[in-house]
Amino acid sequence: MPPAPRPASPAAGPAEAPFLGVLALDTAFPRILGDGGNPASYPFPVRIRTVAGGEVPQVVRPGGPAPALADAFVAAAVALAAEGAVGLVTTCGFLVHVQDRLAAAVAVPVISSALMLAPLMLRACGGRPVGVLVADAGALDRAALAAAGIDPADAVVEGMQDAPAFRELILTDKAHQSRHIDTAALEAAVVRHGKALVARRPDLGAIVLECTNLPPYAAALGQATGRPVVSILDAAAALWAAASMAVPHLPGSVRPA
């Protein structure tokens, strides 16, 4: 039996400035400031890599992307790592279905989904349940929860699929996605669903935003619910901080004296 291939390593020798890689879905809606697909949402260099054909309906579904599409995301991850990425995140939390494949394919850390932050927040909040705000609650199956390390008993899930401003913008194929974003309507919907989480579980410890289109409304959500809110942007910041320990002088990082 031939030896297993080694994960792709970051580029060696003289290289471009380090960056964080972002695997992006193939979408047409605006990526406003705070969205995980907007480079300006990150206080450090990022490289966005859109995976052709990786449209929302093909990823936000039970079981995640089909094998051929999963292969395309893995290939994009390998390419970004070879170009010098110090870590990888994605623009869709449902890519947690391919977390293990992505992480095994490269030699840099990968956080495919903010769902992976839920077990951390559970422990940080003394075992109090964690609210999870997702793009589509019906698509979040037990396999996705298991891939993120979430016990269903510890999570309270709310989906954005019933909010017209979200559904018509995000939860459709690229050709039919709106090119206009109603930020006021989206913020109101996020806050409404966040309050529903707290109403269902008043002991809620924190809220995790699975969907990377929701961080622009995280502050409003936190203020409305009184709960800490985390997203893929926090995962990205953690990867960048970790990389700063190994790569000197990363912009936007703080190293101990």
In angstroms, the CA 175 to CA 50 distance is 16
pLDDT at 244: 85
Is position 36 within any domain?
yes
DSSP annotation of 18 reads: P
Is position 254 within any domain?
no
**Same domain, residue pair 81 and 170:** no
Using CA atoms, how far residue 151 sits from 115, 117, 119, 209, 242, in Å, is: 11, 13, 8, 17, 27
pLDDT at 246: 75
Instruction: Report the number of secondary-structure helices (H) and strands (E) in the chain.
Output: 9, 8
pLDDT at 11: 43
Apex CA 235: angle with CA 242 and CA 221, to 5°? 145
**Same domain, residue pair 38 and 140:** no
Structurally, the chain folds into a number of domains equal to: 2
Q: What is the CATH number of the domain that holds 68?
A: 3.40.50.1860
Residue 164, burial from CB neighbour count under 10 angstroms (0-12, 13-18, 19+): exposed
How many C-beta atoms lie closer than 10 Å to residue 179's C-beta? 8
Domain range holding 24?
19-113+234-244
**Same domain, residue pair 121 and 203:** yes
Per-residue pLDDT of the chain (257 residues; tens, 9 = 90+): 444 444 544 444 445 689 999 999 999 999 999 999 999 999 999 999 999 999 999 999 999 999 999 999 999 999 999 999 999 999 999 999 999 999 999 999 999 999 999 999 999 999 999 999 999 999 999 999 999 999 999 999 999 999 999 999 999 999 999 999 999 999 999 999 999 999 999 999 999 999 999 999 999 999 999 999 999 999 999 999 999 877 766 666 544 44
pLDDT at 170: 97
Q: Are strands 85-90 and 46-50 parallel, antiparallel or unpaired?
A: unpaired
**Share of the chain residues as helix, strand and coil, in percent rounded to the nearest 5:** 45, 15, 45
